[in-house]
Amino acid sequence: MREKQSYAGLDRFRIFAAFLVVAIHTSPFMSYSKTADFFFTKVLGRIAVPFFFMVTGQFVLAEYMDPQKRSAGRITGYLKKIALLYVIAVLIYMPPGIYAGHYQNTGLTDWLRMVLFDGTFYHLWYFPACILGVSVVCGMGRFLKMPQMFVAAGALYLAGLCGDSYYGLVREVPAAASLYEMLFSVFSYTRNGIFLAPLFLLLGALAGRRTKRMENIRLLRVLLALSFLAMTEEAFVLRHFKLQRHDSMYAALPVVMYFLYEALLLSDRRKPERRRGGRGKSAFLRTAATWIYILHPLMIIAVRGVAKKAGLEALFVENSLLHYLAVLAGSCIVSFMIALLLQGRKDEPFEKGRAWIELDQDALSHNVAALRAMLPETCRLMPAVKADAYGHGAKLVAEQLRRLGVDAFCVACAQEGVALRRQGISGEILILGYTHPKQFGLLRRYRLTQTVVDHHYAMQLNRYGRNIHVHIGVDTGMHRLGERSENVEQIASVCRMKHLVVDGMFTHLCVSDSDRRQEQEYTRSQAKAFYQLSDQLREMGLLPPGIHMQASYGILNYPDLAGDYARVGIALYGVLSTQEDTHKWQDTLRPVLSLKARVATVRTLYQGESAGYGLQFTAKQDTQIATIAIGYADGLPRALSGGAGSVLIRGQRAPIIGRICMDQTLVDVSGIDRVRAGDTAVLIGRSGEQELSVCEMAVAAGTITNEILSRMGARLERVVV
């Protein structure tokens, strides 16, 4: 089983951080030692919330910090999720708050302060702090570079520090004291989304973006210990001189959090998590930690109430440690139950349950590197992820490509581009085909780049009246889409249109797959026409910044024609359109996709009996047959019926018998021992020493690999291995 980068350490630490939050609100050591309790709750406990902010920064904000990869989809989704949790928590704590009299004599200004900054119950301040902090960081990102953002966030943290642990010094300065008193009329504390959250969100985002890290775990632990020791001393000095207005912020806290987070990430890399069960466990821990945070004040109320009724207040209320443990136990039990319920509702069907596609991430990475090596360093890949990434799964492929540094994609239509954006895919997305004028709004809303299919279409786009990013399609001989290359003035006029932001220009080579002399000459003539047009536009000062003409075969056969982008398609997935071409490049490219399905049943077909629709297959002798849970609705060509195709089971070929059905396929397993329900049948890929390629399937079906792959059904599960 392949191993992957794990964040299990972060997820386990979430639970510990949640335990610390419970401790902050229950003071577990107060019955024994005020000093010990101060250390546990006001020093160690203060790493909890910054840790939560850093996790948010890593997984929500990291990509947003790069202007080239920025996508508002993930940010919007996170803000909606955290706002929903906040609303749920507010509703949960409204009755206890009313009962306790928290909202008596509360005016509109007070409600605004609570909702926007302080939280409507004492621990709920975290949720508006997340919303406000993420908004502040995203606002910074639109105008500042990362170093400048850190300076700004650092300044905000310093200002917050002066209103928190160091307020005793600040209040000695009348002007500063007046300023902070004015601020405290707006919010009660500076540990909020303006002053506290941005710096830790940025530290998390930095951790998510950085590829090179400290590899010396011992050194990291030493630095963590030293910085934590410094923060501990700082906290006790401030306590001794009674300088703290509150104690959520320390000068050494950002340093502690930096080394702590690095240590956790390095530990995870040294102990990679196996895929099986890993994601489910991590999701469970994340959910449980969230609900421990939300519910623990209810458990405080419950423990106190039950203890009072049972006459056990001396044991479970006055004894602070037992009180903490009781609250923690109740919080964990309820939160784990909620996490289990939510996991049960959200879990996808069992992976590889019926029929599925496996995507080899190593093969994809290899192909990206191989294709890049064929091109000049200035030429960037713009992979075609249309038709659900040639059946591989657009979201999964795009996510893997983003990790490999690819930040531009092309699709066939607006719907495909919108789907990628909604799935959180950032970067440039070029629509290669036609978009109806009624859908122009989608282009702006989802930041999609539209192909100008001809001059008339450009005028339609321009008449929309709002700026739209475009690439100009140029027809150099395929005569499909694009303005003719000889119509220089019309193309130049497109570049001058007020509401078109022309980011690129491209043509398509229609016979670059052929090595025949006539087709080679035609390809060269296409390239010549495109270069001539480019030179003419350059002389006019109108040449768009990104030009491209290469697709898969162009990269392989004409690497010298590279431009600013290369629209690699079928080659990215490790195959080419024909078996001959695939064999030619088999040492350079590796197939990414395998297609597999379960054996549903195994039975005996007695001599003379027939099977399947039309009773097309009749057994000439007693035959063992297996039903495979895949059919033509999944993309298995019906042309493979009647023995034209086969599958691999237990490393041996099993011919397809009878007609392929919509959802099922029959195969002859007579010569294969111990075939049983639940076994894996391989339709594309390897089993034992045998291999079935998509090229072999395409030949048997009388078509090309592109068609086979792009017809893979949506109901097939797709798994990255």
Q: Which are the catalytic amino acids? A: 386, 613
What are phi and psi for residue 235, nearest 5 degrees?
Answer: -65, -45
**Residues in Cβ contact with 438 at an 8 Å cutoff, skipping those fewer than 6 apart:** none
> Helices 253-270 and 217-240, interaxial angle, to 10°?
150
Q: How far apart are CA 291 and CA 548, in angstroms?
A: 51
Contact 660, 670 (CB under 8 A): no
Contact 490, 455 (CB under 8 A): yes
Residue 22's nearest CA partner among 337, 324, 334, 326 is 324
Residue 166's nearest CA partner among 230, 233, 227, 235 is 235
In Å, how far are 93, 102, 123 from 99, measured between CA atoms?
A: 10, 8, 17
Residue 398's nearest CA partner among 378, 424, 432, 375 is 424
Give me the residue label for tokens 């590829």.
Answer: 211
Give me the residue label for tokens 């300044």.
Answer: 155
**Residues in Cβ contact with 496 at an 8 Å cutoff, skipping those fewer than 6 apart:** 542
Contact 576, 514 (CB under 8 A): no
Q: How far apart are CA 474 and CA 458, in angstroms?
A: 12
Total residues belonging to the chain? 721
Hey, which residues does 506 pair with through a beta bridge? 473, 548
Contact 597, 355 (CB under 8 A): yes
Structure tokens at 669: 């397993």
Q: How far apart are CA 628 and CA 660, in angstroms?
A: 10
Q: How far apart are CA 169 and CA 237, in angstroms?
A: 13
Pairing of strands 468-475, 500-506: parallel
Q: How far apart are CA 368 and CA 381, in angstroms?
A: 8
In DSSP notation, 110-124 reads HHHHIIIII-SSTTT
Give me the residue label for tokens 């600040």.
Answer: 170
Using DSSP's 3-state secondary structure scheme, residue 38 falls into helix
Structure tokens at 89: 């928590």
Using DSSP's 3-state secondary structure scheme, residue 211 falls into coil
Q: How far apart are CA 294 and CA 332, in angstroms?
A: 11
CB atoms within 10 A of CB 279: 15
Structure tokens at 561: 């024609």
Amino acid occupying residue 665: T
Contact 213, 266 (CB under 8 A): yes
Residue 288's nearest CA partner among 343, 349, 350 is 343
Residue 678's nearest CA partner among 712, 631, 627, 634 is 627
Helix, strand, coil shares, percent, the chain, to 5: 55, 15, 35
Contact 700, 644 (CB under 8 A): yes
Query: Assign residue 633 a region: left if phi > 0, alpha if psi is -120 to 50, beta otherwise?
Result: alpha
Hey, which residues does 682 pair with through a beta bridge? 596, 648
Give me the residue label for tokens 């350059």.
Answer: 538
Q: How far apart are CA 591 and CA 307, in angstroms?
A: 65
